[in-house]
């Protein structure tokens, strides 16, 4: 098979932005499924894919039998996300000389049948095999049971309805065990809910009290604007879990048996649709942010979820445009597959983002994006003409800002470069959790510049790194408190090495203030230090280095100089890229560091970063740090006024160090921003 998907069916009249139609999506599903089946040599073999990495992902050892069983089930159930709607459309589909429908019918039953070689285990068996004394332990199988029931529903006529009563009972007994069993008190509750809802539809007895307990808990996680808190953090689980599973639950169970809860889930999904399209960029690209980035374009499944409701508010033409754009963001790349299977990465294999709860088959979760194929050919999702929503309304260098205080998300759509930049808050990770900080604590997440892992001990892309000179330790911001937007400026606070047992006055911090400009974000942050000497760095986005031109520029200012470094080059796909970082007050140097293996797009990368130091303990020193990062998808020069946009910086304090009072930044185009931290202390949210 080819290294990347190339659609055969193109309709630029119906789909003027992507050309993709329902038939194109069917082709894409078959392309992915072909990659899976090229690794299945015999009808009896389970969906276990080639494993390129063995240290982080599970199974973690040959003795971990319960993990091997979980891998069998994960491969089966998640690949079904792609296969089930395709089986319904093409029931006689054969790949690698295997009838796809017959294969899944056989392996679903075998996975649920005790004694079979690919039986994935009951809860009690997994508990015994794991030797875990925790009585509330949950197992990966619970996750996959939910995928299974969704896919049985989508291929009902071809698979479920063809089982005998005895075979259905075997599967139902297996599902009931996990449906009524332990789960994780977050989005996992929805897995139990859908298991029970499916079984109830099929006439099996369930415990309605367990159902109600899970459903009320899910609703209680709601934070507003369509977003749910999943544990401490907000991320795409709101979109590919809460806002896919809850609408399905409504349809299967909630509308009839829990009308109040169902009405709220419908209301919440529609609230998400009011702003969710603006989470993607002009090309429909998905931002690399939060955990489980190996699920990629599964984030678009929330549009399909919304359309499962009795009354949905998603714009079908916009939903398909984004879904197709995000599909090709990944499937259009040469590095997306490893031996026919999506890599453990965002684009190619990228281990810094991979987590221990994943296995080689985990990326098939992106198959959720293909659930839209259950929508019939005459559904508006397939028949409406593509439109590009906000991007068709913005002109020139306009920027649209959306700020959601509940989930602490601020995203800006930049017409000048077609990018969407996300700024987040309400983040707390352990101070040693570097992976968690990459996923959640970056200052900005850009749809065209996926986050970079650490290129050096004291440098991070889109993160401050604080070096304590006395102890020779480096800390990164592991907690981000949210204040919100005020007069066009977003205010947050980040703590370095935050821990709950230490009062915050004894934790080094920086107050963040940033606002959008045409090609990026301007920062005017204020240090909140209690001990010095310290050294500080701030990186721009990681820049793919496939041959890069580096330019350095300066502009004289009253009382100093502004400096800029510009990078010009191309990403892995050959697309032109350009990045510029400019520093003003508070910074000493602007440098470039090269790195290997830390960028999701390209093997080699460059990071422009600013550096400074504060040497004198308990002395009044420069407090405000002013910088900007600009990006665009071409190498045509930024103008001088874009690189050096500030006309003047006016401080309240006579020393002009910004330690107290408002700071007024006047741009050459007449824009004035007043940075005022005084009001944020009493309204910081976590």
CA dihedral 385, 386, 389, 394 (to 10 degrees): -110
Domain that holds residue 411: 394-683
pLDDT at 28: 98
pLDDT at 304: 98
- On whether both 352 and 433 belong to a single domain, the answer is no
pLDDT at 381: 98
Cβ atoms of 575 and 584 within 8 Å: the answer is: no
- On whether both 30 and 71 belong to a single domain, the answer is yes
* C-alpha to C-alpha distance for 108 and 172, rounded to whole angstroms: 11
pLDDT at 188: 97
Using the predicted structure, report yes or no on whether residue 573 has a pLDDT greater than 80: yes
Rg (CA), the chain: 26
pLDDT per position as a tens digit, 165-185:
999 999 999 999 999 999 999
Classify residue 466: in a domain, yes or no: yes
| pLDDT level of residue 679 (50, 70, 90 thresholds) | confident
pLDDT per position as a tens digit, 300-332:
999 999 999 999 999 999 999 999 999 999 999
- On whether both 82 and 185 belong to a single domain, the answer is yes
pLDDT at 61: 82
Beta-strand ranges (E) seen in 43-129 are 94-95, 98-99
In this predicted structure, which of 41-45, 65-69, 622-626, 636-640 has the lowest mean pLDDT? 65-69
- On whether both 452 and 503 belong to a single domain, the answer is yes
What number is the average pLDDT over the span 485-492? 97
| pLDDT level of residue 62 (50, 70, 90 thresholds) | confident
Classify residue 638: in a domain, yes or no: yes
pLDDT at 1: 66
Assign residue 74 the CATH number of its domain. 1.50.10
Give Cβ neighbours of residue 576 (< 8 Å, ≥ 6 apart).
Answer: 568, 569, 570, 633, 634, 635
- On whether both 363 and 405 belong to a single domain, the answer is no
Cβ atoms of 379 and 319 within 8 Å: the answer is: no
Helix 141-154 and helix 65-89: axis angle, to 10°? 10
pLDDT at 127: 86
Cβ atoms of 413 and 433 within 8 Å: the answer is: no
Classify residue 678: in a domain, yes or no: yes
Q: Would you state the structure tokens that stand for residue 670, as one six-digit string? A: 């007449």
* C-alpha to C-alpha distance for 531 and 523, rounded to whole angstroms: 23
- On whether both 409 and 355 belong to a single domain, the answer is no
| pLDDT level of residue 2 (50, 70, 90 thresholds) | confident
Cβ atoms of 675 and 603 within 8 Å: the answer is: no
Q: Would you state the structure tokens that stand for residue 468, as one six-digit string? A: 């304590």
Helix 65-89 and helix 22-37: axis angle, to 10°? 140
DSSP summary character for residue 364: G
Using the predicted structure, report yes or no on whether residue 559 has a pLDDT greater than 80: no
Using the predicted structure, report yes or no on whether residue 602 has a pLDDT greater than 90: yes
What number is the average pLDDT over the span 363-379? 98
In this predicted structure, which of 1-5, 40-44, 356-360, 447-451 has the lowest mean pLDDT? 1-5
Classify residue 132: in a domain, yes or no: yes
- On whether both 667 and 626 belong to a single domain, the answer is yes
Q: Would you state the structure tokens that stand for residue 520, as one six-digit string? A: 């990026």
What number is the average pLDDT over the span 260-283? 98
Interstrand relation of 409-414 and 399-404 (parallel, antiparallel or unpaired): antiparallel
Q: Is the dihedral of CA 33, 305, 23, 155 positive or negative?
A: positive
3-class DSSP state of 474:
strand
Residue given tokens 């004694």 in the structure block: 115
pLDDT at 131: 87
Classify residue 492: in a domain, yes or no: yes
Which of 376, 411, 443 terminates a domain? The answer is 376
| pLDDT level of residue 358 (50, 70, 90 thresholds) | very high
Classify residue 387: in a domain, yes or no: no
pLDDT per position as a tens digit, 9-30:
999 999 999 999 999 999 999 9
- On whether both 364 and 502 belong to a single domain, the answer is no
Which of 376, 404, 420 terminates a domain? The answer is 376
- On whether both 446 and 320 belong to a single domain, the answer is no
Using the predicted structure, report yes or no on whether residue 458 has a pLDDT greater than 90: yes
Using the predicted structure, report yes or no on whether residue 557 has a pLDDT greater than 90: no
- On whether both 221 and 339 belong to a single domain, the answer is yes
Residue given tokens 């979760």 in the structure block: 365
Cβ atoms of 538 and 464 within 8 Å: the answer is: yes
Q: How many domains does the chain have?
A: 2
Using the predicted structure, report yes or no on whether residue 63 has a pLDDT greater than 80: no
Q: Would you state the structure tokens that stand for residue 621, as one six-digit string? A: 């020193």
What number is the average pLDDT over the span 619-640? 97
| pLDDT level of residue 598 (50, 70, 90 thresholds) | very high
Q: Would you state the structure tokens that stand for residue 650, as one six-digit string? A: 């006016």
pLDDT at 599: 98
Classify residue 425: in a domain, yes or no: yes
Using the predicted structure, report yes or no on whether residue 278 has a pLDDT greater than 90: yes
Q: What percent of the chain has pLDDT over 90?
A: 94
* C-alpha to C-alpha distance for 411 and 422, rounded to whole angstroms: 4
Interstrand relation of 604-614 and 98-99 (parallel, antiparallel or unpaired): unpaired
What number is the average pLDDT over the span 460-477? 97
Residue given tokens 């370095």 in the structure block: 496
pLDDT at 136: 92
pLDDT per position as a tens digit, 196-255:
999 999 999 999 999 999 999 999 999 999 999 998 999 999 999 999 999 999 999 999
Assign residue 563 the CATH number of its domain. 2.70.98
Please give the residue that has the higher pLDDT: either 416 or 3. 416
Beta-strand ranges (E) seen in 325-437 are 337-338, 341-342, 399-404, 409-414, 419-424, 427-428
What is the three-state SS of 437-462?
Answer: HHHHCCCCEECCECCCCCCECCEEEC
Q: Would you state the structure tokens that stand for residue 195, as one six-digit string? A: 């298991």
| pLDDT level of residue 162 (50, 70, 90 thresholds) | very high
What number is the average pLDDT over the span 117-144? 91
H or E stretch at 477: strand 473-486
* C-alpha to C-alpha distance for 130 and 662, rounded to whole angstroms: 58
- On whether both 268 and 163 belong to a single domain, the answer is yes
* C-alpha to C-alpha distance for 383 and 388, rounded to whole angstroms: 15
**Mean pLDDT estimate for the chain:** 96
H or E stretch at 220: helix 208-220
Classify residue 5: in a domain, yes or no: no
3-class DSSP state of 526:
strand
Q: Would you state the structure tokens that stand for residue 42, as one six-digit string? A: 């015999």
CA dihedral 323, 324, 330, 334 (to 10 degrees): 170
pLDDT per position as a tens digit, 494-513:
999 999 999 999 999 999 99
Which of 376, 402, 417 terminates a domain? The answer is 376
- On whether both 275 and 243 belong to a single domain, the answer is yes
């Amino acid at each position: 098979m080819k290294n990347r998907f190339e659609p055969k069916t193109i309709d630029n009249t119906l789909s003027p932005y992507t050309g993709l139609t329902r038939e194109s999506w069917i082709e894409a599903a078959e392309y992915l499924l072909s990659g899976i089946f090229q690794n299945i040599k015999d009808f009896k073999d389970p969906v276990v894919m080639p494993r390129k990495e063995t240290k982080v992902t599970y199974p973690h050892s040959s003795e971990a039998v319960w993990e091997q069983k979980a891998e069998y089930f994960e491969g089966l159930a998640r690949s079904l996300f792609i296969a089930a709607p395709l089986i319904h459309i093409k029931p006689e589909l054969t790949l690698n000389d295997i009838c796809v429908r017959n294969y899944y019918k056989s392996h679903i039953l075998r996975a649920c049948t005790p004694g079979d070689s690919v039986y994935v285990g009951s809860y009690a068996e997994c508990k015994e095999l794991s030797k875990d004394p925790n009585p509330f332990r949950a197992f990966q199988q619970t996750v996959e049971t939910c995928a299974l029931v969704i896919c049985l529903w989508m291929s009902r006529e071809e698979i479920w309805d063809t089982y005998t009563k005895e075979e259905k009972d075997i599967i139902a007994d297996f599902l009931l065990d996990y449906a009524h069993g332990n789960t994780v008190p977050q989005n996992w509750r929805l897995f139990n809910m859908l298991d029970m809802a499916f079984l109830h539809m099929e006439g099996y007895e369930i415990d309605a009290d367990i159902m109600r307990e899970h459903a009320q808990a899910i609703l209680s996680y709601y934070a507003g604007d369509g977003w749910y808190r999943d544990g401490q953090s907000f991320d795409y689980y709101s979109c590919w879990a809460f806002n896919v599973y809850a609408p399905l639950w409504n349809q299967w169970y909630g509308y009839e048996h829990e009308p109040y809860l169902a009405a709220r889930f419908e209301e919440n999904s529609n609230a998400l649709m009011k702003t969710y399209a603006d989470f993607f960029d002009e090309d429909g690209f998905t931002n690399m942010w939060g955990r489980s980035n190996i699920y990629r374009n599964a984030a678009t499944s929330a549009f399909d979820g919304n359309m499962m409701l009795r009354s949905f508010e998603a714009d079908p033409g916009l939903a398909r445009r984004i879904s197709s754009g995000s599909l090709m963001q990944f499937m259009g790349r040469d590095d997306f597959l490893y031996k026919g299977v999506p890599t453990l990465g965002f684009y190619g294999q990228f281990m810094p983002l991979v987590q221990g709860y994943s296995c080689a088959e985990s990326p098939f979760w992106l198959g959720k994006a293909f659930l839209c194929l259950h929508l019939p050919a005459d559904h508006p999702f397939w028949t409406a003409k593509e439109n590009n929503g906000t991007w068709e309304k913005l002109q020139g260098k306009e920027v649209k800002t959306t700020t959601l205080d509940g989930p602490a998300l601020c995203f800006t759509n930049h017409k000048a470069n077609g990018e969407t930049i996300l700024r987040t808050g309400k983040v707390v990770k352990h101070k040693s959790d570097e992976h968690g900080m990459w996923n959640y604590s970056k200052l900005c997440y850009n749809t065209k510049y996926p986050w970079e892992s650490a290129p050096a001990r004291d440098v991070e892309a889109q993160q401050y790194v604080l070096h304590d000179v006395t102890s020779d330790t480096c800390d990164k911001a592991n907690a981000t408190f949210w204040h919100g937007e005020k007069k066009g400026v977003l205010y947050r606070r980040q703590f370095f090495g935050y821990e709950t047992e230490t009062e915050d006055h004894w934790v080094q911090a920086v107050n963040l203030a940033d606002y959008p400009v045409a090609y990026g974000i301007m920062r005017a942050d204020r240090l909140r230090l209690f001990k010095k000497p310290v050294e500080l760095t701030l990186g721009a986005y990681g820049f793919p280095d496939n041959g890069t031109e580096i330019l350095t520029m300066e502009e004289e200012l009253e009382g100093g100089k502004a400096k800029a470094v510009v990078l010009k080059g191309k990403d892995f796909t050959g697309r032109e890229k350009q990045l510029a970082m400019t520093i003003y007050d508070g910074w000493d140097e602007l440098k470039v560091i090269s790195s290997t293996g830390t960028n999701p797009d390209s093997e080699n990368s460059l990071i422009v970063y600013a550096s400074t130091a504060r040497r004198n303990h308990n002395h009044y020193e420069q407090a405000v740090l002013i910088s900007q990062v600009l990006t665009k998808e071409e190498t045509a020069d930024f103008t001088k006024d874009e690189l050096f946009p500030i006309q003047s910086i006016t401080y309240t304090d006579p020393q002009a160090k910004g330690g107290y009072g408002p700071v007024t930044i006047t741009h050459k185009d007449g824009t004035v921003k007043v940075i005022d931290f005084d009001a944020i202390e009493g309204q910081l949210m976590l």
